[in-house]
Amino acid sequence: MRNRVACCLGLAACSLLFACQHGSMPAAGGFDLEIYRRAEAERLEYFEREVERLRADLAQAEESLVAMESGLRGFQSRADAVSLIAEVRIALERVSPSVPWRSEQVEEARAKLAEASRQLQAGHVGSAVFFASRARRITDNLRLEVEQVATWADKRLVVGKQAEMRAGPSPDSLVVDSLAAHTPVFPERKDRDWTLVRTPSGRIGWVHASLLAPR
C-alpha cells in the first residue's frame, strides 16, 4: 500500500515536472516573441505550483504511512483534524464562486474533505489530516489563480459551454485547447473576428470573438 501510494503520487509529480520543462506550447500563428514569453512564464508558474502541491502530497503520504507502519499516532489530535477540515471547507467555499472554470479541481477538493470527514468518523485522525491537507493545497492553488487573474487590467470570459482555442485565426487551424465556460482569458491582439488570448495556465491561442464576452 505504501509503495503504491508513493508511486502514484510520484508519477503524477514527475509527469507535471516533465510537462513544465518540456511541454512547449503549440505555436499560435501571428504573435510576437514577447506575447509568447508572457504566456510561457505563466504556464511555467502554473506547472510549478502543481508540482509543488504533488510533492507536498507525496511527502505527507510517506510520513503518514511511516507513522502507521511503526504504530505511531503522530501529534495531531481529533480537535486539530476538526479545526483543519472546517478551516479548509470555509476557504474552499469562499474561493469556489470565483473559479467556475476550475469546477473539476473544486470537486476534487470537496471529495478530499468528504474523505477526511469519513476518516475522522472512523477514528483515523492522521488520515483525516492527510486528506484535509490535500484539499487545502488544492484550495490554495485556486486562490493563487484568482489573485493572478485579478492583476489582469483587461480580460474576457468564455461564453457558452466551451470555446476551442486554435493555433491560428481560422476555423481550419489546429485546436490547441478547449476552454470551459467562464474561463477568464487575457486578450493579446485581434485579427478580424479572432482574438489571440492567454489563459491563467499560460496557454495561448486564437478564439473566435463571438465566444468571448467582456468582464
Beta-carbon contacts of 69 under 8 Å, excluding residues fewer than 6 positions away, are 2
14, 131, 164, 195 from 170: Cα distances, Å = 35, 45, 11, 10
Per-residue confidence (pLDDT) for residue 196, from 0 to 100: 94
Domains, the chain, ordered by start: 2-150 (no CATH), 156-214 (2.30.30.40)
Average pLDDT (128-138) is 91
**pLDDT at position 69, please?**
41
The answer to whether residues 85 and 120 touch, using CB atoms and an 8 Å cutoff, is yes
- Its pTM surpasses 0.75: no
Residue 14 has pLDDT above 60, yes or no: no
SS3 assignment, position 45: helix
Residue with cell 509543488: 52
Range with the poorest average pLDDT among 44-48, 77-81, 119-123, 190-194: 44-48
Per-residue pLDDT at 30 exceeds 70: no
